[in-house]
Amino acid sequence: MPILILGGGRRDGGGVTVSLPATARTRRGLTVGLQAWAATRREPVTVGLWATATTLVPDVEHLTGGPVLETDSSVTGLPGDMLSWSYTHGGQYEELSVVVMGQHGLALPTALVQARGIAVSADETGRPLGILPARVFQALGQEPEVDVGQDQTTFLFRNDRDQELRGIRLPELVPWKLNPTPEGTCTSRPRQRLRISPLVQAVMRDRVDPNFALTTDPLLHAEWVESERDFSTLNLTPQDLWDQTYGLLGMQLHLWPQGTGFKLVGRFTQPPVQGSPSAPLSGRWPLSRSERRERRQTPARLTVTGAPSVTPLDYQTLMALIGDDPARDEISRALGPGSEWFEESSADTGTTRRGYRKARGQLVDQVELTTGDVVAKETVDGKEVSVTFSGVVLSLSRTSTTYDPDCADRPQLQRTLSRTYAYTPFTKLDVVAVNGPGIFTTALGGDLASEEEALTTYTYSPQGWQTGKTTTTTRLGSLQQEGAEDEPDKRGKLLSKERLTDITAETWLPTGAGRWQHTVQRSVQSLVPVYDTESGEAVRTSTVTRPLPPVIETTDQAPPSYRCPDACLRDLSDPTGAVLVAGDAGFGEEQTVALPWASAGDLVPLGRRLMEDRWHREVRTLSLPYPLGVVPGAPLDGGWVREVSIQGSAAGVDTSVTVAAFDGLFPLPTIGQPYLLDPASGSSLMLAGRPGGARVRLVRGWEPEGQKPIVEDAFVAFRTGFPPTPGDEISWTLVQGRREAQSAR
């Protein structure tokens, strides 16, 4: 039924306050009309208007008895007479739109809006139903919209933190980006760690809002780890930092009223399922109510991936993965940081035994001994004398290398000694002892036929490349023998008398543009006879040193440089993940969410929280005849407020509230299923060589319940012929049902 409302003006100071109350009652005492308006005007006015109010209870019989609804609202600080206003709070922003009379295109006002609704009973006592606390809005650079034809201006205001959230660039706040930790040994490698929650909260409070708060903190124990879960804040905005941490879980930054202002709050758009929230809204007052169900946002499958599971791959770990392999001993010798062994091979010329010793992954000592049978023949006094020597030493060589203690790959000094032995029918054998490495034995040797020792030293630049290499070689120049002119069987052993020294020096010098000057300088010694000037006979020999002209070339081939590795071969990094299946409740497409900072143990709880955020919702939209200043996320009517919209004009105040509640018709998945990788391509750890390929550790996925990778022992074929070694990472692709290697590192 139409209701006639008459309002009178009352002068108050310099303006006139116009009050337009309107009431209507039902037999249940429900107020069905709402008209209350307060505006400041410059001149006294008299206002009359018609208004029609509709209720869900149609039997309106009288206007007396029961409570009466009164609403009032005001927006001040504007340059003209206000016609209407609209307030919306969707969580991250508070927005106000005000329409005023006149054209005010250059005005930048500051508006203050407030509204309330009161239920007044017959005894004149008022019960507050709803209130929009005083909100202050500043026009920060937002230009008003001027409608010339209607002679009115619309001012748009927004309360937000965009300038602080998106207008600030952060410096580097991750400590290891500024001061990296020196690499230690494989078993004691230090890792700097940085907890995510304290850093994000500190950035928000120091650079955005000192009152920033989190309603819940799912990243309380999450952290970034140097070299494992890396991160950098350089040139990120605070909003970027939020989006890459809490934002990945669906949390948003909301404005939460605080006095006449607001504070920034980090919260879930739909709080975790914790039973039904309180319902303070009275069922008597809503003018309308609509309901719907949201189901399409629930994915059929939700895959959550986290930070890789990192294991330092040292020698012991690799050998445990290799297990009982036919090539185990060979691999152990090649990759072991410290070991000692020997090998033996036989041929027609004799038996060769080789001994090796490794330290810090490098061969530091090796020896090679060759023995065999020798038939020595010589003609004496016209008769041939033949003697057979069995199992005597033919040659012996030994090489020892010293490496830089700060760089296990870089040699500093190398010494090589080589000897060969000769035999005649009259040679007297002596014992030759070999004291390792790998070989501890004695054998009989004859006359020393030759002996050569090479000593090589290396020098390096501070940048790591080799600057010089000097090799000094000392060789046998002449021999001496006791009783050399006696009968063969009376002669002594051959002994060294004179030695000759050759020196070869190589240097590298950068000349720019990737080119190098390589210089080789040599000096050699030789024995020359010294003749007697009177007799003209050679009386002795003398050593002469001759320097050879240097060889200088310019080349683009750089000198050797070394990577100086630690004891680890590399880190073994296994992808982690979990899959939550919605079953019959999943109406949406499959989704994948990457949480690069999440540990493997947190994937299922975080995945369940992500599924909760996407789960079915019962959504209700309530229309109220009074202002309700609740904020998104507040509990109301058995759910959680999603959005609030308030419209005000001379006709009154209308409020629309959207409330969402968790729909528990289908149960949430609580157990994460295994996460499986793409079977068509990937990368795997090589364990051992095989004819035409390699045996690899193939990771097929991750088992979230058992907290371990799903591993298969597989074969990868080599088509290109590159020679990776155990411990390398091989990239492969499935070709016609067979895994073929593409590259290795």
In tens, the pLDDT along 269-288 reads 877 665 556 656 655 667 78
- Min mean pLDDT across 24-38, 327-341, 465-479 is at 24-38
pTM of the model: 0.71
Amino acid 566: pLDDT: 64
Which are the contacts of 221, defined by CB distance < 8 A and separation ≥ 6? 195, 602
pLDDT in tens, 249-262: 999 998 887 776 77
pLDDT bucket at 204, cuts 50 / 70 / 90: very high
| Residue closest to 389 by CA, chosen among 439, 440, 428 | 428
The residue assigned the tokens 């006139």 is 16
pLDDT in tens, 539-555: 777 777 778 888 899 98
Q: Please name the helix (run of DSSP H) or strand (run of DSSP E) that holds residue 258, with its range, or none.
A: strand 251-258
The larger pLDDT score, comparing residue 260 to residue 169, is at: 169
Beta bridge partners of 251: 268
Q: Average pLDDT, stretch 233-242?
A: 96
DSSP state of 270: S
Amino acid 485: pLDDT: 63
pLDDT in tens, 324-365: 989 888 888 888 878 888 889 988 878 999 999 988 878 899
Amino acid 285: pLDDT: 67
pLDDT bucket at 306, cuts 50 / 70 / 90: very high
pLDDT in tens, 510-521: 988 889 999 999
Q: What's the per-residue H, E or C state across 546-557?
A: EECCCEEEEECC
Q: Is-contact 116 131, C-beta < 8 A?
A: yes
Structure tokens at 160: 């937000």
**15: pLDDT strictly greater than 50:** no
The larger pLDDT score, comparing residue 31 to residue 475, is at: 475
Amino acid 24: pLDDT: 32
Q: Is-contact 473 439, C-beta < 8 A?
A: no
pLDDT bucket at 600, cuts 50 / 70 / 90: very high
DSSP assignments along 196-211, one per residue: HHHHHHHHHHHHT-TT
Q: Please name the helix (run of DSSP H) or strand (run of DSSP E) that holds residue 315, with its range, or none.
A: helix 315-322
Structure tokens at 559: 């000198």
Amino acid 649: pLDDT: 85
Amino acid 277: pLDDT: 62
* Percent of the chain's residues with pLDDT above 90: 37
560 prior amide bond cis, ω within 30: no
Q: Average pLDDT, stretch 209-228?
A: 92
Q: What is the mean pLDDT of the chain?
A: 81
pLDDT in tens, 691-732: 889 999 999 999 998 899 999 999 999 876 666 788 888 999
DSSP assignments along 60-72, one per residue: --BS-SS-EEEEE
